[in-house]
Amino acid sequence: MASDIRKVEVKRDSEIIAWKWMRYSGILLIPLVWVHVALNDVIIGVHDIDIDLVAVRWEVIGWRIYSFSILAFALAHGMNGLRQVLNDYVGTDKNRRRLAWVLFLVWLVVSVIGATAIIGGVRGEGV
Per-residue pLDDT, 106: 94
Tell me which amino acid residue 84 is.
Q
Contact 59, 119 (CB under 8 A): no
Q: Where are the domains of the chain?
A: 14-118
> Which CATH architecture fits 14-118?
Up-down Bundle (1.20)
Instruction: Tell me what the mean pLDDT of segment 120-124 comes to.
Output: 60
Q: List all residues 6 or more positions away from 28 whose beta carbon is below 8 Å from its beta carbon.
A: 69, 73
Give residue-wise pLDDT tens across range 21-52.
Answer: 888 888 999 999 999 999 888 888 888 888 88
Of 19-23, 56-60, 64-68, 122-126, the poorest mean pLDDT is in: 122-126
Q: What is the pTM of this model?
A: 0.74
Centre a 10 Å sphere on the Cβ of residue 112 and count the other Cβ atoms it contains. 12
Q: In the chain, helix, strand, coil percent, each to 5? A: 75, 0, 25
Question: Residue 81: is its pLDDT beyond 80?
Answer: yes
Confidence of residue 123 (pLDDT cuts 50, 70, 90): low
